[in-house]
């Protein structure tokens, strides 16, 4: 019984424990449900406030932790409602700021970029509050970009016109000018722009009377005849007009062109301008392609019977403008271009200028005169150099024997690579000082004293007897018998090698033996050279009783002087 009771008690305890745990689990599962429903209602009713609250408290969006749910649910509806309205107002303002910012970004993108560069830490609110300043930035930048594009277009247009002049108006002169041109930079400030215009012209003149026009006779002639052009007694031929027409026609293939026949120079009468523009020599600037507008105030004034208003400038239909004028000086050109630009600014005009007569300023004319004088001097110097070179070439030809090449071939074929000349070592410095080897006769004539002078005494008398005193003596052999004699007298001798070209010089002579020998034969022809015994001169150490002893001493004799450049080893003479 006791055991049974114990068992029953145990079973009863187990049942009670299971029940308690079930109750606990039930409570745990059931308690959050009311919080969840309340939290879900808050999430739906106050989405902005709900999101802000869970973000600040680091709560997961769908947390089921009872403590998290309790924190959310415990706040009063008034608190949630007040915070939701506040956040809705903030969101409305944020969206409004985004809309305004995007409108600024879309409408004033360049200005906004500049603002951001100047204010790197700016905010959208600050940007919106400075909208009008950003709009100004944008306006200035776009205006500056338009001016820069205009400058670039003028640069391209004027280059094209300059290139076209070479094709259509050969022999016309061309000169570039910077025209006064004001533009706006990206800060809205007026600055000097770069507006380059090429002026092409058929003729030129210069009013400066004290310049040397020796190289510009036509300029001087045109200057003297200006009044004759104005009073219609002088004019250009129709060929000049045809070239101008050709230029305009070619240009109109690429652009619609406006031609302005300039009538803004009061020195020219209406009758004179009309004559030169239309009637002289049957020439005319009419009958141009349909896309060419001709603005002709001269004809208009004649037809209307009115005077020309020299200060009036026209509005032209096309951007690409060719101004044609009879007489133009530099200031006038710049003034005309400036007024045409101002009058047609809305079209951003592109200009090229053609003048029948172009006036040079003093500085321009002086520069041209100096350039032409320099060219003339350079040409004269070139011609002088050519004459000198020709004279030098002739002198070189006269310097050599007519059978120069045959002499060289004969020497080389016989194994002669150089000639030899022995002298005292102490003479080398003097040879360098005076630029080469002189004959003993020339040294005396020039009062040049040398430490050692070969052939003194009887040898020099023999030279005079044979008329060979003004010759430098060279041997074919490097062991001339006279070397030993001088060495016996204590002379420190060296041996110089001489280029065989000296044998081809017109006055060089050849001797079959030593030329001091009364039995020698000498002459300057190749036949005389052939009398040299080449086998004998190439031998070494020939004794006195040998038949080749005298032929071994055959010589080449060079008139007066051998320049140092023909001494092969002057810097390193061979010791003897």
Overall average pLDDT of the 65-91 stretch = 82
Neighbouring C-beta atoms of residue 205, cutoff 10 Å = 23
Alpha helices for 31-185 (secondary structure H)? 32-45, 47-56, 66-73, 77-107, 109-118, 124-129, 131-168
Confidence band, pLDDT 50/70/90 cuts, at residue 73: confident
Lowest mean pLDDT among 18-22, 25-29, 207-211: 25-29
Lowest mean pLDDT among 6-15, 24-33, 462-471, 531-540: 24-33
Confidence band, pLDDT 50/70/90 cuts, at residue 344: very high
Between 32 and 542, where is the model more confident? 542
Overall average pLDDT of the 305-332 stretch = 92
Q: How far apart are CA 566 and CA 431, in angstroms?
A: 12
Query: How would you classify the pairing of strands 522-523 and 509-511?
Result: antiparallel
Q: What is the pLDDT of residue 451?
A: 79
User: Tens digits of per-residue pLDDT, 154-165?
Assistant: 999 999 999 999
User: Tens digits of per-residue pLDDT, 219-272?
Assistant: 999 999 999 999 988 888 888 999 999 999 999 999 999 999 998 999 999 888
Q: What is the pLDDT of residue 576?
A: 81
The answer to whether the beta carbons of residues 258 and 295 sit under 8 Å apart is yes
- Is residue 7 predicted with pLDDT exceeding 80? no
DSSP 3-state of 168:
helix
How far is CA 370 from each of CA 119, 216, 384, rounded to the nearest angstrom?
56, 11, 20
Q: What is the pLDDT of residue 29?
A: 43
Percent share of the chain, pLDDT over 70: 90
- Element containing residue 332 per DSSP (H, E): helix 330-343
Number of helices (H), then strands (E), belonging to the chain: the values are: 22, 17
Mean pLDDT of the chain: 87
Q: What is the pLDDT of residue 551?
A: 94
Overall average pLDDT of the 36-60 stretch = 82
- Is residue 407 predicted with pLDDT exceeding 60? yes
3-state helix, strand, coil in the chain (%, to 5): 55, 15, 30
Confidence band, pLDDT 50/70/90 cuts, at residue 64: low
- Residues whose CB is less than 8 angstroms from the CB of residue 515 and which lie 6 or more positions away in sequence, other chains included: 463, 466, 468, 473, 509, 522, 555, 557
Confidence band, pLDDT 50/70/90 cuts, at residue 139: very high
The length of the chain is 576
Confidence band, pLDDT 50/70/90 cuts, at residue 58: confident
Overall average pLDDT of the 478-506 stretch = 89
How far is C-alpha 411 from the geometric centre of its chain's CA atoms? Answer: 55
Percent share of the chain, pLDDT over 90: 56
Lowest mean pLDDT among 4-13, 234-243, 427-436, 470-479: 4-13
Confidence band, pLDDT 50/70/90 cuts, at residue 417: very high
How far is C-alpha 306 from the geometric centre of its chain's CA atoms? Answer: 53
Torsion angle, alpha carbons of 276, 277, 281, 287, to 10 = 180
The answer to whether the beta carbons of residues 524 and 401 sit under 8 Å apart is yes
- Is residue 5 predicted with pLDDT exceeding 70? no
- Is residue 28 predicted with pLDDT exceeding 50? no
Q: What is the pLDDT of residue 97?
A: 87
Q: How far apart are CA 207 and CA 173, in angstroms?
A: 18
- Is residue 30 predicted with pLDDT exceeding 50? no
- Is residue 455 predicted with pLDDT exceeding 70? no
Q: What is the pLDDT of residue 84?
A: 80
Overall average pLDDT of the 417-422 stretch = 95
User: Tens digits of per-residue pLDDT, 87-121?
Assistant: 888 888 889 888 998 998 899 999 999 999 999 98
DSSP 8-state secondary structure symbol assigned to residue 278: I
User: Tens digits of per-residue pLDDT, 167-208?
Assistant: 999 999 999 999 989 998 988 899 999 999 999 999 999 999
Confidence band, pLDDT 50/70/90 cuts, at residue 280: low
Q: What is the pLDDT of residue 62?
A: 61
């Amino acid at each position: 019984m006791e055991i049974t009771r114990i068992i029953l008690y145990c079973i009863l305890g187990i049942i009670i424990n299971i029940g308690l745990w079930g109750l606990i689990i039930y409570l745990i599962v059931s308690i959050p449900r009311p919080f969840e429903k309340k939290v879900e209602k808050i999430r739906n009713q106050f989405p902005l406030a709900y999101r802000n609250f869970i973000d600040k408290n680091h709560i997961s969006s769908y947390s089921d932790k009872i403590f998290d749910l309790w924190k959310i649910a415990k706040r009063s509806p008034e608190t949630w409602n007040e915070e939701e309205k506040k956040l809705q107002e903030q969101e409305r303002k944020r969206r409004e700021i985004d809309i305004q910012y995007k409108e600024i970004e879309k409408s004033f993108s360049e200005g906004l970029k500049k603002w951001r560069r100047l204010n790197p830490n700016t905010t959208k609110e600050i940007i919106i509050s400075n909208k009008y300043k950003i709009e100004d930035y944008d306006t200035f930048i776009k205006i500056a970009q338009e001016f820069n594009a205009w400058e670039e277009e003028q640069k391209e247009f004027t280059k094209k016109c300059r290139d076209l002049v070479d094709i259509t108006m050969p022999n016309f002169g061309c000169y570039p000018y910077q025209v006064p041109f004001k533009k706006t930079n990206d800060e809205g400030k007026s600055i000097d722009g770069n507006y380059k215009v090429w002026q092409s012209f058929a003729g030129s003149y210069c009013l400066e009377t004290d310049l040397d026009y020796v190289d510009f006779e036509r300029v001087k002639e045109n200057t003297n005849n200006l009044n004759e052009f104005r009073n219609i007694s002088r004019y250009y031929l129709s060929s000049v007009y045809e070239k101008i027409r050709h230029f305009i026609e070619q240009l109109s293939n690429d652009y619609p062109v406006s031609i302005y026949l300039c009538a803004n120079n009061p020195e020219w009468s209406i009758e004179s301008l009309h004559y030169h523009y239309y009637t002289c020599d049957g020439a005319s600037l009419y009958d141009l392609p349909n896309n060419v507008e001709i603005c002709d105030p001269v004809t208009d004034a004649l037809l209307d019977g009115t005077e020309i208003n020299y200060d009036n400038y026209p509005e032209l239909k096309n951007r690409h403008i060719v101004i044609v004028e009879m007489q133009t000086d530099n200031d006038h050109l710049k003034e005309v271009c400036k007024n045409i630009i101002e009058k047609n600014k809305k079209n951003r005009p592109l200009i090229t200028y053609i003048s029948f007569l172009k006036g040079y300023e003093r500085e321009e004319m002086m520069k041209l005169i100096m350039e032409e004088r320099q060219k003339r001097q350079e040409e004269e110097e070139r011609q002088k150099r050519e004459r000198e070179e020709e004279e030098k070439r002739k002198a070189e030809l006269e310097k050599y024997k007519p059978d120069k090449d045959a002499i060289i071939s004969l020497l080389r074929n016989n194994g002669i690579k150089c000639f030899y000349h022995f002298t005292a070592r102490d003479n080398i410095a003097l040879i360098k000082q005076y630029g080469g080897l002189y004959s003993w006769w020339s040294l005396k004539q020039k009062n040049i004293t040398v430490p050692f002078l070969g052939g003194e005494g009887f040898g020099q008398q023999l030279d005079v007897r044979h008329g060979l005193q003004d010759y430098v003596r060279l041997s074919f052999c490097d062991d001339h018998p006279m070397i030993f004699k001088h060495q016996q007298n204590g002379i420190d001798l060296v041996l110089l090698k001489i280029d065989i070209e000296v044998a081809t010089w017109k006055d060089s002579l050849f001797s079959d033996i030593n030329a001091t020998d009364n039995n020698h034969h000498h002459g300057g022809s190749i036949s005389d050279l052939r009398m040299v015994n080449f086998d004998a001169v190439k031998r070494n150490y020939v004794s006195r009783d040998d038949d080749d002893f005298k032929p071994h001493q055959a010589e080449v004799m060079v008139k007066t002087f051998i320049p140092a450049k023909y001494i092969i080893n002057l810097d390193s003479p061979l010791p003897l």
